[in-house]
Amino acid sequence: MKKLLTEIRACTLCERHLPNDPRPILSAHSQSKILIIGQAPGRVVHETGIPWDDQSGKELRRWLGVEPAAFYQEKNFALLPMGFCFPGTGKSGDLPPRPECALQWHERILRKMKAVKLTVLIGTYSQRYYLGDANAKSVTENVRNFREFLPRYLPLVHPSPRNKIWHKKNPWFEREVVPELHRIVAEALEY
C-alpha cells in the first residue's frame, strides 16, 4: 500500500487540466475500516495537503460522530476522492473532479483494502460511479433511501456549507440519517 500511495502522490496524469501543480491528496491503509469517497480536494485542502481539512470536513466529522483524531487515523478511515487534485473553480463552485483518477487508481487501491466494512459515497460523482444501476435520479433520493445500499455503501450529500438550502428543504436528514450514521460508524469502528 505504501508503494502505491507514493506512486499516486507523484501522479501528473491530468496536469495539463489543472489550475495548479498536481498535488494528489488521499489517505488510506490496508486495514482501513471505513472508506470515504468524496469528490475532489478544494482550494483549502490543496494548500494544506490534508484531506477534508476545511469546513466541509468539520461538518462531515459531525455527521459521522467522530473527532479529528479518530477521523485521521488511517486504520479507521481511508479518504479517497474521485479526483485527487484540486480541479479549479467554476462559476458556482469547484469544477467537477477529473475523471482520470478514479479510472487509473481506485481499483488498485481498493484491492489492497480488505478490512473495509462501509463505504461512504459523498455526492453525485462517487454515487454515479459506484452505485451503477442502483443509482437514483438524484443524490437526495439516494440519501433518503440509504438503507437500501447498506451494508456496503452509504450515500451522503456533500457536507459543503453551500448546501444549506438543501438542508432546509430536507430536515429529515438531521433527524433520520445523522443518528443512524453515528450508530453505523461506531459499529464499524467497534466503539
Per-residue pLDDT averaged across 166-182, rounded? 97
Higher pLDDT, 91 or 150: 150
- Domain holding 101, by residue range, is 2-189
Kindly tell me the burial class for residue 58, based on how many C-beta atoms sit within 10 Å of its own C-beta (0-12, 13-18, 19 or more).
Answer: middle
Domain count within the chain? 1
* pLDDT reported for residue 92: 82
pLDDT at 177: 98
**pLDDT tens sequence across 48-105:** 999 999 999 999 999 999 999 999 999 999 999 999 999 999 988 899 999 999 999 9
Three-class SS state of 93: strand
Residue 93 confidence (pLDDT) = 86
By DSSP bridging, strand 153-156 and strand 77-81 are: unpaired
Angle, CA 43 vertex, CA 41 and CA 159 arms, to 5°: 55
Residues 15, 18, 21, 27: what is their CA dihedral angle, to the nearest 10 degrees?
A: -90
Q: Which of 49, 43, 103, 38 has the alpha carbon at shortest distance from 77? A: 38
**pLDDT tier at 29, thresholds 50, 70, 90:** very high
| Three-state DSSP state, 92 | coil
For the residues 32-61, what does the mean pLDDT come to? 97
| Alpha helices, H only, the chain | 2-9, 43-48, 55-64, 68-71, 100-101, 107-112, 123-131, 139-144, 164-169, 172, 178-189
Quote the mean pLDDT of the chain: 96
**What is the structure's pLDDT at 78?**
98
- Total residue length of the chain: 191
What CATH number corresponds to the domain at position 73?
3.40.470.10
Predicted pLDDT of residue 38 = 98
- Dig out the grid coordinates for 135 from the structure: 443509482
Under the banding of pLDDT at 50, 70 and 90, the label for residue 191 is: low
- In percent, the amount of the chain with pLDDT more than 90 equals 95
pLDDT mean over 174-178: 97
More confident residue, 120 or 191: 120
Does residue 166 surpass a pLDDT of 90? yes
pLDDT (0 to 100) of residue 56: 96
What is the CB neighbour count within 10 angstroms for residue 109?
20
Residue 175's alpha-carbon distances to 52, 127, 167, 180, 182, in angstroms, are: 24, 22, 11, 9, 12
